[in-house]
Amino acid sequence: MVLTVKMVAAALMAAAVAGSAATKPAPNFSLKTADGKTVELKQLAGKVVVINFWATWCGPCRAEIPGMLEIYGKYKEKGLEIVGVSLDQQGFSVVTPFVQRMKIDYPIVVGDGGLVAAYGNFQAIPTTFIVDRKGNIAGEHTGSMTKEQFEQMVKPLL
């Protein structure tokens, strides 16, 4: 069987439509930052939200933070929000000094196994979910991302 460009394009378009129909809402959460501010996902509706699960002890997590900070600075005014969900068992006692040292200016909360379960019981960090403006999971990536990869994931949704 010979596939023409039009056939391939039609198949890709059908897959894209089917994929968008299968999107699922991102599980809501309500967690506090170190300074007591509440971060609730449903309150961020209308923004593109990046939920980045990470830990201070995770080398790949630390490696991707500078790129995330750069992209956040570039697109925050266009509706991008990042929520860093630390999975450090020691909580803010280790997270706060790290956040200050790295100059992280997006909200950081501390998550737990319940939140990991709500997001599919992923097995490795960093794991990043991209939530579109309607509150649906539009993308997921496990492993460290370069600044360019990160930008490619969020820019089309802004």
Q: How would you class 113 by CB atoms within 10 Å of its CB: exposed for 0-12, middle for 13-18, buried for 19 or more?
A: exposed
DSSP conformation class of 85: E
- Residue 22 pLDDT grade (very low, low, confident, very high; cuts 50, 70, 90): low
What pLDDT digit, counting tens, does each position of 117-152 carry?
999 999 999 999 999 999 999 999 999 999 999 999
- Quick one: pLDDT at residue 2? 43
Q: How would you class 95 by CB atoms within 10 Å of its CB: exposed for 0-12, middle for 13-18, buried for 19 or more?
A: buried
Q: What is the mean pLDDT of the chain?
A: 89
- Residue 49 pLDDT grade (very low, low, confident, very high; cuts 50, 70, 90): very high
Distance of CA 65 to the CA centre of its chain: 12
- Quick one: pLDDT at residue 31? 98
What pLDDT digit, counting tens, does each position of 2-15 carry?
443 444 333 333 33
User: What is the pTM assigned to this prediction?
Assistant: 0.85
Query: Mean pLDDT throughout 31-43?
Result: 97
DSSP conformation class of 78: G
Query: For residues 40 and 7, which has the higher predicted lDDT (pLDDT)?
Result: 40
Query: Mean pLDDT throughout 71-100?
Result: 98
By percentage, how much of the chain surpasses pLDDT 90?
A: 85
Domains in the chain, please, with CATH? Answer: 25-157 (3.40.30.10)
Query: Mean pLDDT throughout 65-83?
Result: 98
Of the candidates 53, 29, 51, the one whose C-alpha atom is nearest the C-alpha of residue 39 is: 29
